[in-house]
Amino acid sequence: MRTRDLRGVLAIEESVYTRPWSHRLFADELSQRKSRIYRTAWVDRDIVAFAGLMLIEEDAHVNNIAVAPAWHGRGIATVLMLDLTRSAIERGSRHLTLEVRVGNEPALALYRRFGMAPVGLRPNYYAETGEDALVMWARSIDSDTYQARLASIEAELPPELSVTW
């Protein structure tokens, strides 16, 4: 993701979140290249999804992941998670964490596929709705076993989906 991508990113952000991040917040995140990884997913000339990760020592924290509503259910979030996870491992991360709305079943299914398990609850985490957040972790993402999990997930993707630089 680059600053010039933010118009498309913000359009998705505003369409899927009740309290979207601002242009300034995204710009600040993008300026922290050593501790942040942000990606966009494109179809032709359109940004259809994005994701972000914060690196803290051996932990990688998924800050956000969003897919434009018209593109839900096509595997794009899976590709972004694969890319973020592999990038985190390359940068020395050993564990992956995030918070997710307790009622967001599609996201929960995605994260479980990546070996993430609930470890706690943050009550009223989403102030705009009062919803709780489930805290999830995947440990030892740098292990051979986890690499096999990632390879299995990637093998199940439709052939038209891939990570390109």
Q: How much is the pLDDT for 21?
A: 94
> For residue 164, is it within any domain?
no
φ, ψ of residue 86 in degrees (nearest 5): -65, -40
Q: Give the domain extent around 85.
A: 3-155
Which candidate in 38, 99, 105, 128 is catalytic?
99
The CATH number given to whatever domain includes residue 115 is 3.40.630.30
**Residues 6 or more apart from 69 whose CB is under 8 A from it?**
15, 16
Question: Model confidence at 80, in pLDDT bands (50, 70, 90)?
Answer: very high
Query: Is there a domain that residue 10 lies in?
Result: yes
Mark whether 58 is an active-site residue.
Answer: no
Residue type for 165, please? Answer: W
In the DSSP assignment, the letter for residue 22 is P
160 falls within a domain: no
Q: Which tens digit of pLDDT belongs to each residue from 22-59?
A: 999 999 999 999 999 999 999 989 999 999 999 999 99
Specify whether 99 is catalytic.
yes
Catalytic residue among 38, 111, 146, 154: 111
- 161 in a domain, yes or no? no
Look at residue 57 and tell me if it is in a domain: yes
Domain assignment of residue 96, yes or no? yes
Query: How confident is the model over 115-134, as a mean pLDDT?
Result: 93
Best CA proximity match to 62, nearest among 160, 153, 134: 134
Share of the chain above pLDDT 90, in %: 89
In this prediction the pTM is 0.93
Domain count, the chain: 1
